């Protein structure tokens, strides 16, 4: 977790994007954010996960990959996984795609903190859409819809990622440190 004390050297920012099954929204968010920050030394570990294990080990939905490819993101590779307790210590930000996943993440964080103390789960858990200019904006799950839902999600991911970069990374200086 990045240190917040101004006298300490900050580690590169680590971000985990989370949706339900980790095959549509969160891997798309991960792919977009990675592409926007690929040469930014202020960004370290970036990953995605799901609150459910429905698709664990599976690649992203073909429509997610198609939309990423159509937008120039051709080198993205991912296998779905479920959120782990260690994620709350390993990542600075855990960003949910919607209120249901946010509630699940906050409940899990409280459980971890209750059993291991607040140092066991220091990540900042919030809605990814809060970085899009409108507090509380959610990404509707496009899984059961047509491809246009994935295009809309991509547009949101791009806007939210740019907002995250602007709000969190601006003015952030980090020493080059190995990825955790």
**Residues labelled catalytic:** 19, 25, 141
157 near 17, Cβ under 8 Å? no
**Please, which residues have CB within 8 angstroms of residue 170's CB and are 6 or more apart in sequence?**
none
- Tell me which DSSP letter residue 41 carries: T
Q: Kindly state the tokens that stand for 155.
A: 């547009």
Cα–Cα distance for residue pair 27/106, rounded to 1 Å: 20
Closest CA to 87 of 120, 60, 62: 120
Cα–Cα distance for residue pair 97/137, rounded to 1 Å: 9
Task: For the chain, give the longest Cα–Cα distance.
Answer: 50
Q: How many CB atoms lie within 10 A of CB 14?
A: 21
CA 160 to chain centre: 10
């Amino acid at each position: 977790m990045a240190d917040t004390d101004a006298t300490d050297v900050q580690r590169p920012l680590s971000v985990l994007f989370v949706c339900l099954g980790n095959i549509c929204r969160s891997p798309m968010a991960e792919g977009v954010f990675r592409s926007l920050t690929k040469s930014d030394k202020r960004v370290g570990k970036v990953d995605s996960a799901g609150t459910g294990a429905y698709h664990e080990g599976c690649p992203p939905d073909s429509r997610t990959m198609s939309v990423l490819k159509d937008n120039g993101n051709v080198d993205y590779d991912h296998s779905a996984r479920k959120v782990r307790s260690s994620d709350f210590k390993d990542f600075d930000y855990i960003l949910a795609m919607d209120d249901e996943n946010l509630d699940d993440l906050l409940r899990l964080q409280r459980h971890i903190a209750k059993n291991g103390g607040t140092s066991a789960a220091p990540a900042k858990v919030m809605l990814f859409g809060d970085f899009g200019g409108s507090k509380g904006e959610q990404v509707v799950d496009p899984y059961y819809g047509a491809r246009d839902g994935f295009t809309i999600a991509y547009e949101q991911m791009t806007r939210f990622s740019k907002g995250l970069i602007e709000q969190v990374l601006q003015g952030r200086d980090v020493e080059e440190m190995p990825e955790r």
